[in-house]
Structure 1
Amino acid sequence: MAPSPIVDIHTHVYPTTYLALLRSRTEVPYLLDLPDKLAPPRLIILPSDDDLALPAHQRGRPIDSSYSSINQKIDFMKTHDITTSVVSLANPWLDFLSPEEGPQWAEKVNNELEDICSTSLKCLYAFATLPPSAPASRIVGEIHRLSLLPHIRGIILGTTGLSKGLDDHGLEPIWSALESAKLLIFLHPHYGLPSSVYGPRASEYGHVLPLSLGFPMETTVAFTRMWLSGVFDRHPKLKVLIAHAGGTVPFLSGRIDSCVQHERHFPENEGGKRGPKRGLKEVLRENVWLDAVVYSPTGVRAAVEVVGKERVLFGTDHPFFPPLEEGAEEWMSMGTNVHAVKEAFGDDEQAAAKVLGGNAIELLGLDVASDG
């Protein structure tokens, strides 16, 4: 019997067009080339990275060829028996561009993503990116255009939306367009939490606090604001995939719901219910999918408990978290997440196979029949 397909829905790439954009800039975010031509450039992604007191090779994050090379992406897939990947631009996307620049760069990046996928023999699809600073009409126009591109299956969106968060009234035409186009929203963090919450010794811990705690809490707050503002009441067919197993949404969903029920500032809906008309449990079961990039069986079980086993999708977060040993081919992040899925389901191999690939194929309409 042929092995079940594995689909990686959380895997990033910086296309050459995007790298050229970053390299042309001198303000955050920008790409910093080092004097040592053999050393990878550094992505200065947050204002805190732009510390001129630090040596250049210690600022930002190193961006080697694995972040942009499609051949290396496919080699990674072959090494780990991944059938199909749905690639997306990594943060900071196009959030930093002016309203005039955004639309043209979005079109360039999205066209390159489509071109990359169209020559990949059905092993690659993509989540496109939007120009959040542009007028809503331009963003809606790009959404309509994306819906006609054969390899685009959704869009990746940061937690700030158009800059004011996902409860911003200005997002209404965007939600409507995405709902109409049936494009999935891949909600992904970028800014974390204010650096002050990590305390004066934060630099001693590197990126551990922002990545392990800041990203999940950023995601949780963003999605909760989206739900509280009634987005899913007004757009009941909107589809959202939340990165990193939903942040802390699975663990805190009951607490969030309880706080809403006790919040007196919310007007009562029909039947005396407070807050959004559609409850959080209902929205999580009908509008939300979670990836399984959580590195533990406990995290996978929590995701399944909240959204159901048909709504959890496998991912690797490649090319982040590379092997710890130089020259190693197998990535611990891949092995850890596969093991977490299989252990979470125990003897239910069919359910594990659905999370590893089947759910994504069904949700996104992926053609993997001739892959292999």
Structure 2
Amino acid sequence: MASEPPIIDIHTHVYPSSYISLLRSRVTVPYLLNPSEKGASPRLIILPSDDDPSLLPGSRGRPIDPSYTDIGVKLKFMSDHRITASVISLANPWLDFLPPTEGLKWAHMINDELESTCSRHQGKLWAFATLPLSASPSDIVTEIDRLRSLPHSRGIIMGTTGLSNGLDDPNLDSIWAALEESKLLVFLHPHYGLPAPLYGPRASEYSHVLPLSLGFPMETTIAFTRMWLSGVFDRYPELKLLIAHSGGTIPFLAGRIDSCVQHERHFPEHTDENGIKSRGPKRSLDQVLSNNIWLDAVVYSETGVKAAVEKVGQERVLFGTDHPFFPPLDEGAEKWASVETNLNAVTSAQDKAGSRAILGANAIELLGLEINPREGGG
């Protein structure tokens, strides 16, 4: 039978055993809360709002079941959803919380464990490594340089706070330079959300809906916009950035952001190669979006996929699942509604060629993946 078009999942998370050991050793956020019920999964207390003993244990943090830690469960999930290969990455909160003296040690262990996992599953798994962002810039650059020796490393995952002052921090310049020179893709992913008071005094009634659905996208949008405004892409024009969750609200707000910049008189005025005058960063927002930026398709709607494609181009949108988050609503179900929603959004928004590009071909080209085509499968 003819081989099926490949499906590549570039947004899929795992907590390696070394990272679980780190979390178990802690008593402050983030840490693992042991279950009170026999057979229940431990819960990751990941946000300060979850670190409240007055809350019922089952409502604090998120349960860490085997789908977060067992690579066999990941591979079965891939098989169930006909996913050819995955690029696994550590889920938030990464290593940002560590003391500066400990970050590099844990980054070595976690990245080496990810590499070992990928090497046992050749052609199925690659990795986005994690950086010790609480360490000194020189230590971080050392780890970036070391990642070149890891055959399955295709980039790094990074949160929005950088070295704690955001992604427009000048102290990140040596790190951007190393990432640009190494040609490693930066996977920008939210975690910290927006200030809790914005969600109002009734926020606890809504569980994590407001932070996840609105806080994460706006956090990502603000982080990227600060990078652009500060001239990061002017200084590092070859830096490659993959933005989670279809870029947050960037596809919808790019025009508004650009208009606001043009009307801010304190920005310097530039003339581009076509003689057009503009304000703000030397490279326009559209130039950066069409040359430096890729978006995943974890947006759960046809409208969102269309907006992503219109803003950055069909060849710059990549499929992802966000596994193991948003599991099936029905206990025991093999197919995940969240994954099927993303698949259907891509195939509804694009023609056959466009769907094939987003579902797999774009990731294969961008990351230089060597895969074995799947046979048959219907």
**Which TM-score band applies after superposition, normalised by the shorter structure?**
over 0.9
- Find the counterpart in structure 2 of residue 30 from structure 1: 31
User: How far off is 1:267 after superposition?
Assistant: 1.7
1:330 pairs, out of 329, 335, 358, with 335
Aligned partners of 1:30, 1:135: CA distance in 2, in Å?
24
**Amino acid corresponding to residue 104 of structure 2 in structure 1:** P
Aligned partners of 1:17, 1:212: CA distance in 2, in Å?
30
Aligned to 2:32, the other structure's residue is in SS state strand
Which 4+ stretches in 1 moved above 4 angstroms? none
Q: Does 1:12 align with 2:13?
A: yes
Cα displacement string for residues 165-209 of structure 1 (whole angstroms, at most 9, x for unaligned residues): 000000000000000000000000001111111111111111111
Aligned partners of 1:310, 1:268: CA distance in 2, in Å?
31
Q: For residues 198 and 28 of structure 1, do their structure 2 counterparts lie closer, same or farther at Cα, with a shift above 3 Å needed?
A: same
Q: Does 1:221 align with 2:229?
A: no
- Find the counterpart in structure 2 of residue 350 from structure 1: 353
Q: Is the 8 A contact 2:3 2:374 kept in 1?
A: no
User: How far off is 1:80 after superposition?
Assistant: 0.5
Aligned to 1:273, the other structure's residue is in SS state strand
Query: TM-score with structure 2 length normalisation?
Result: 0.96
Q: Is the 8 A contact 1:309 1:355 kept in 2?
A: yes
Aligned partners of 2:325, 2:134: CA distance in 1, in Å?
27
User: How far off is 1:370 after superposition?
Assistant: 5.9
Percent pairwise identity: 68
Cα displacement string for residues 45-78 of structure 1 (whole angstroms, at most 9, x for unaligned residues): 0111100111322211111110011000000000
Cα displacement string for residues 142-182 of structure 1 (whole angstroms, at most 9, x for unaligned residues): 00000221000000000001110000000000000000000
Q: Is the 8 A contact 2:4 2:374 kept in 1?
A: no
User: How far off is 1:371 after superposition?
Assistant: 5.9
Aligned to 2:77, the other structure's residue is in SS state helix
User: How far off is 1:264 after superposition?
Assistant: 1.1
User: How far off is 1:229 after superposition?
Assistant: 0.3
- Find the counterpart in structure 2 of residue 263 from structure 1: 264
Aligned partners of 2:113, 2:67: CA distance in 1, in Å?
17
Aligned partners of 1:327, 1:173: CA distance in 2, in Å?
48
User: How far off is 1:27 after superposition?
Assistant: 0.6
Q: Is the 8 A contact 1:123 1:371 kept in 2?
A: no
Aligned partners of 1:208, 1:370: CA distance in 2, in Å?
38
- Find the counterpart in structure 2 of residue 284 from structure 1: 289
Q: Where do residues 91-170 of structure 1 align in structure 2 (5 Å cutoff)?
A: 91-170=92-171
Query: TM-score with structure 1 length normalisation?
Result: 0.98
- Find the counterpart in structure 1 of residue 313 from structure 2: 308
Aligned partners of 1:41, 1:177: CA distance in 2, in Å?
37
User: How many correspondences in the alignment?
Assistant: 370
- Find the counterpart in structure 2 of residue 74 from structure 1: 75
Aligned to 1:43, the other structure's residue is in SS state strand
**Amino acid corresponding to residue 154 of structure 1 in structure 2:** G
Unaligned runs of 5+ residues in structure 2 are none
Q: Is the 8 A contact 1:122 1:371 kept in 2?
A: no
Q: Is the 8 A contact 1:80 1:330 kept in 2?
A: yes
Alpha-carbon RMSD:
1.0
Aligned partners of 1:371, 1:107: CA distance in 2, in Å?
33
**Amino acid corresponding to residue 366 of structure 1 in structure 2:** L
Aligned partners of 1:8, 1:370: CA distance in 2, in Å?
15
